[in-house]
Amino acid sequence: MNENQSGPKHIAVIMDGNGRWANARGLPRKAGHRAGAEAVREAVEICQDLNIDYLTLYAFSSENWDRPEDEVKALMKLLERFLKTKAREIAKKNVRLRAIGRLHLLPDHVRVELDRVIEDTQHNNGLTLVLALSYGSREEIVDATKSLAQKITRQEITPDEITNETIAEHLYTSDLPDPDLLIRTSGELRLSNFLLWQLSYAEIFISQKNWPDFRKADFEEAIQEFTRRNRRFGRV
C-alpha cells in the first residue's frame, strides 16, 4: 500500500500547447490563449470535484516578456479579462486566489484586477488557485537570497542559521505546501524555470495533449498514476 494512495493535495501545471492547439486548427495564437483561459476555468472545477486543495498554474513566465510585443499585450488583456469575468465565477465557488512572481512588472490595469480578486477571495476556504505570473524560479531564489542577505546585514540572522526551512520561508510560496504532482501538457520534457525548489520531490506526469484539450479524464489519469507510485523521498 503506497503512502500517497489518497492522492495529491497540491497539483502544479505547466500549461503548454495553446499556440500549437491554435495552429493545428488554422487559428491565430490568441485563439489558443483564449481556449487555454477557458481550460483554466474548467480545471478549477475539476480540481474541486477531485478534492484537490491547491492548484498552481504556470500562467506567464518571466521569459514570456521576451515574446513579440503584440502577443504580450494580447496576453495581458486576456489576463485582465479572465480576472474580470471568469475569476468572479471562480470566487463564487469558494475558491481563494493567490499569485506568485514579480507581480510589480505586470501592467497597472492587470495589477488592479488581480489585487481586487485576491482581496475579495481571501476568506474563501475551498480550493486555493495560485497563478504564477511574471514568474521564474531562478528569479524567486535570487529574491529569497537577497532578502536573507539583507537580514544578515542587519544582524537579524547569521549565515549558520540558514537552513532548507529558512530558504523556503523566503520564497514566494512560503505559506503554501510543496506540490505533490506536476503535470506538463503538450509532451514537453522540461521544468522551464518553474518551482525548481518546490518540485524537488514532486511526481511528474507528461501528457501529449495540448492544454486546451486537457480534461477531467486526463486529470483523473494523472492522479491514478500518482497513486501507483511509491514516493520514497530518498529513503529505501
Residue 218 designated active-site: no
Residue type, 31: A
User: Which three cell numbers, joined as nine digits, stand for 13?
Assistant: 501545471
Is the alpha carbon torsion for 11, 16, 17, 19 positive or negative?
Answer: positive
Cα separation, 162 vs 145, whole angstroms? 10
Cα separation, 130 vs 127, whole angstroms? 10
Residue 230 designated active-site: no
| Full strand arrangement of the beta sheet holding 203-206 | 96-100, 128-135, 54-61, 10-14, 181-184, 203-206
Catalytic residue among 4, 23, 64, 193: 64
Cα separation, 183 vs 57, whole angstroms? 10
List residues with catalytic annotation: 16, 64
